[in-house]
Amino acid sequence: MTPEQLLQGLLQGNAPVQRRAMAKAITLLESTRADHRAQADELLTAMLPHTGNSFRLGISGVPGVGKSTFIEALGLYLIAQGHRVAVLAVDPSSTVSGGSILGDKTRMEHLSVHPQAYIRPSPSSGTLGGVAEKTREAMLVCEAAGYDVVIVETVGVGQSETAVANMSDMFVLLQLPNAGDDLQAIKKGVMEIADLVVINKADIDAIAATRAQLQITSALQLLGMHASSGHMHGDDSVWHPKVVQISALLNQGVDSFWAAVSEFKALQLKNGRFGMRRQQQALSWMWERIDAGLKQNFRAQPRVQTLLPQLSQQVATGQLAASTAARQLLGAYETKSQSAGLI
C-alpha cells in the first residue's frame, strides 16, 4: 500500500480496513530499508495534522508487577466510558538471540478482541530505556486512526526505565506492596519522574500495601523539595505526584486511578505544562533521530568499515585505549565527510 492509501485507510476506512492500515503503517515505520524510510517520512508528514488529540499514558514497572493485567482492566474501563484505547506493548528482546516473544497481547485476552481497542506488541531490540525505537511514530498512527487514549507499556527493568516519560503526557510507575523502604524508592531512577505511583496487587497484603503507599509518599515529598524533579513542593499550581492502591486482578481501584489521571490532565492544561511537555518531547524526538542517523551513517562509511575490525581487535586485546580508537575512527569519518563535501 502507498502512503496515500495507508492514510486513507487510517482516516476513513471501516474497522477491518483501518486495523489493517494501522498494522501496515506501523510495520512500514519500523522498517530500516531506505526506500521504506522515505515512504514512512511521507506518511508521517501527511498524518501530522490528524494527530495530537489523544492522551498518552506511559506505564512502567518491574517484571511481575501486573502491568498487562492492569492495562486490560483499565482499557476495558475506559472503553465502557466511551473511549477508544490503543496499547503499544514493548517486549524485551533477548541479548543472546535477539528475539522477542511478543506475548503481552496474549495476557490481555478480553481487551485484545474488543473492537474499540488496538494492541500492538513490539520488540525493544535493545533500545535504551525499554521503549522500541519507533514507538513515538506508532503513537501517531494510533492517534490518526482516532484512538483518544494511547497506552505505552514498557519493559520493566528498573532504574534505566525512563524513556517512556519523554513520549507520554503522564508517566505511571507500578510498584508491588513489598517494594522496599522509602530509601529504595528514592534510589530508583524512575521515581523522580513518576507523575503517579500505583501499588498493584493490594489485595494480597493490605497492610504491606498501605505501608508501601506511606513510604513512597514520603519519598515523593522529599523529592518534591527539589525543583529539578518538576514537582515543586508547596506550589499548588503544579501537579504533586500521588500514590494510589489498586487490585487489577479484582478490578478494584481502577476508577479512582482514572480520576487521578483526569485531575492531572486538567491541571496540566490549566497551567500550560501539557503543551510545553509535548513541545519538549517533539524536540527531543528530533535529536534522538539525528543521533541515530549519525551513528548509522558513521557505521556505513567505507573508511570506518575498513578500520573498525582492526581497531576493535586492538581495543579488545588491550593494545589500544578505547578513547584513542574512537578518536581515530571519528577522524577517519570526518576526513571522508569533508572530502565528500558534507562538512
| 1-49: CATH class | mainly alpha
CATH fold for domain 51-271: Rossmann fold (3.40.50)
- Going by C-alpha positions, the residue among 34, 4, 29, 9 that lies closest to residue 20 is 9
Output the tens digit of pLDDT for each of the chain's 343 residues: 899 999 999 999 898 999 999 999 999 988 878 899 899 999 999 999 999 999 999 998 878 888 889 999 999 999 999 999 999 988 764 444 444 445 566 678 889 899 999 999 876 655 554 465 678 889 999 999 999 999 998 866 544 466 788 889 999 988 888 765 545 555 556 677 889 999 998 888 888 888 888 888 887 777 765 444 455 555 678 888 899 999 998 999 999 999 999 999 999 999 999 999 999 988 988 888 888 788 888 988 889 999 999 999 999 999 999 999 999 999 988 876 666 655 5
Q: Is 317 exposed, middle or buried (0-12, 13-18, 19+ CB in 10 A)?
A: exposed
**Architecture field, domain 286-339:** Orthogonal Bundle (1.10)
Query: Which amino acid type is present at position 148?
Result: D
Q: Are 50 and 143 spatial neighbours (Cβ–Cβ below 8 Å)?
A: yes
| Per-domain boundaries in the chain | 1-49, 51-271, 286-339
Say if 1-49 and 51-271 have the same CATH topology.
no
> Beta strand 170-175 with 196-199: parallel, antiparallel or unpaired?
parallel
* DSSP SS3 for 86: strand
Q: Which residues of 119-129 are buried (b: 16+ CB within 10 A; e: fewer)?
A: bbbbbbeebeb
Residue 97 neighbours by CB under 8 Å, 6+ apart: none
pTM of the model: 0.83
